[in-house]
Amino acid sequence: MCFRNRPPPPDLSTSALRFGILGAARIAPTALITPAKTHPDVVVAAIACRGKGRGEAFAQKHNIPKTFTGPTAYQDLIADPDIDAIYIALPNGLHFEWAMRALQANKHVLVEKPMTNTAAEAQQLFALASKRGLVALEAIHCTFHPALHRAREIVDSGELGHVKSVAGTFTLPSLLSPFFFHSDDPRFRYDLGGGCMMDMGVYPLAALRFITASDTAPLAVTSATATGHALDATRVDRGMHATYTLPLPPTWNPEAATKADVTAEMTVDFATPGWGPFGLLPRSIKNEITVYLEGGEVFVYNFVSPGMFHYIKVRPKCGRTRYEQAYRFRNGWGKRSWDSYRYQLEAFVDKVRGHSPALWPEPVTVITQLKIIEDVYVKAGMPPRCASSYKARDA
Ligand SMILES: NC(=O)c1ccc[n+]([C@@H]2O[C@H](COP(=O)([O-])OP(=O)(O)OC[C@H]3O[C@@H](n4cnc5c(N)ncnc54)[C@H](OP(=O)(O)O)[C@@H]3O)[C@@H](O)[C@H]2O)c1
């Protein structure tokens, strides 16, 4: 372990929530370290990394005062009594084990998406968190942003009538893929919970459920087609296309809830091939959701990172198309400068402090989403991601 003598920034609350990060992961600066800088009640106090040099370099670069390295780094950080909450930025297949270990050490957990490999694991994790009075959150950050709340509000308002179908797409062109993923990325490893449905797929699935207020309902998977990844074509999907039927909750729209024709579809791909002669013409990144309603469409551009830029296009069948943006909530709450990760952190801290967050996904939302992902894999003829071999002693 390496300590560096650096006093905390002067305006930090002395009782700020002290986060430790497991893994010097690429996503950690975006998802936690940067948002924490503008949160007066959060300090990133420690990082655990298996490699000594890499861990120390990461800590130095991000001004993290305490570093744990070596083979016991993760457990050592979790055992640190100075730490209140653990951010788990490890490959998917390790989330369950380390979130359970953290909860057993009485730490709150912010767990990267997907929360676990299986629905049963998420159920176990939430049960332990509840038993110990701790907070556990799956980091599907986009649903915390006001843009998705505004889209849901428009759909929910009834101005365009009932929902008929929803389509979500999140795809990267093959040309750009190497800039996002290493050739040996854990995303391509079955044993680490890899696959495109597990990675990019969680976003359109969560967002289309959220925007149509069906986020607590189990969707029925009607079809799924996987494109195998070159490294493990029978178990790891490079891309996935899935269709669902969408049982809208009766409280949201009693008439639509009885209809069988509300459908959803989603497409995700780590590396969509080019088109045209020999596939040489590159495609663009696609990151959008369209809700088709009786009276028109609601389209959300950049639903995954709406804090960067987004727009909501409301296109009635009769009447003028309008464009909206929402960087703050309708009641004025939030800040233009906050991205989805910052809104997510706000919710996490609110929950820990016993306040009411603007959004708090219930365990059923996470558990049903993981069950849907399992069903997608089965329908696509691939094995669902394997459960962790970790056996929790207090679950
Ligand atoms: N919320 C978002 O926007 C977002 C975006 C990207 C990814 N994610 C999620 O965040 C998690 C991490 O993704 P990432 O792209 O940041 O990953 P990454 O850069 O590959 O980092 C993963 C970390 O996991 C640790 N690790 C432990 N065992 C490992 C093993 N057997 N193989 C590889 N790494 C191992 C490594 O930590 P050490 O430092 O200890 O070596 C590494 O730093 C994933 O669950 C992913 O789905 C979320």
Domain ranges of the chain: 17-141, 143-335+360-379
Q: Per-residue confidence at 250, pLDDT binned at 50, 70, 90? A: low
Over range 117-124, report the average pLDDT. Answer: 98
Candidate from 31-40, 213-222, 373-382 with smallest mean pLDDT? 213-222
Q: Which atom in ligand 1 lies closest to the alpha carbon of residue 95? A: 45
Q: Fold for 17-141, please state it.
A: Rossmann fold (3.40.50)
Q: Which atom in ligand 1 lies closest to the alpha carbon of residue 48? A: 40
Would you state the structure tokens that stand for residue 170, as one six-digit string?
């999140």
Model-level pTM greater than 0.85?
yes
Q: Per-residue confidence at 8, pLDDT binned at 50, 70, 90? A: very low
Over range 160-185, report the average pLDDT. Answer: 94
- The CA 287 to ligand 1 mean position distance, Å, reads 22
Over range 344-354, report the average pLDDT. Answer: 98
> CA nearest 91: which of 388, 391, 394?
388
User: Looking at the predicted structure, is the pLDDT value of residue 264 above 50?
Assistant: yes
- The CA 94 to ligand 1 mean position distance, Å, reads 9
Residue nearest to atom 18 of ligand 1 (CA): 25
Q: Per-residue confidence at 249, pLDDT binned at 50, 70, 90? A: low
CATH, range 143-335+360-379: 3.30.360.10
Q: What amino acid is encoded at 373 in this protein?
A: I
User: Looking at the predicted structure, is the pLDDT value of residue 27 above 60?
Assistant: yes
Residue 131 CA, chain-centre distance (Å), reads: 24
- The CA 290 to ligand 1 mean position distance, Å, reads 30
Residues involved in catalysis: 113
Peptide bond into 254 cis (omega under 30): no
Q: Quote the pLDDT of residue 133.
A: 98
User: Looking at the predicted structure, is the pLDDT value of residue 3 above 50?
Assistant: no
- The CA 22 to ligand 1 mean position distance, Å, reads 9
Residue 110 has φ and ψ, to the nearest 5°, of: -110, 110
Between residues 12 and 18, the one the model is more confident about: 18
Q: Which atom in ligand 1 lies closest to the alpha carbon of residue 27? A: 16
Residue nearest to atom 17 of ligand 1 (CA): 25
Q: Per-residue confidence at 13, pLDDT binned at 50, 70, 90? A: low
Q: Per-residue confidence at 280, pLDDT binned at 50, 70, 90? A: confident
Q: Are 299 and 288 in contact (CB under 8 A)?
A: yes
Measured from CB, residues less than 6 Å from any atom of ligand 1 are: 23-27, 31, 49-51, 54, 89-92, 94, 112-113, 139, 141, 186, 192, 199
DSSP state of 29: I
Tokens 């050490």 sit on residue: 105
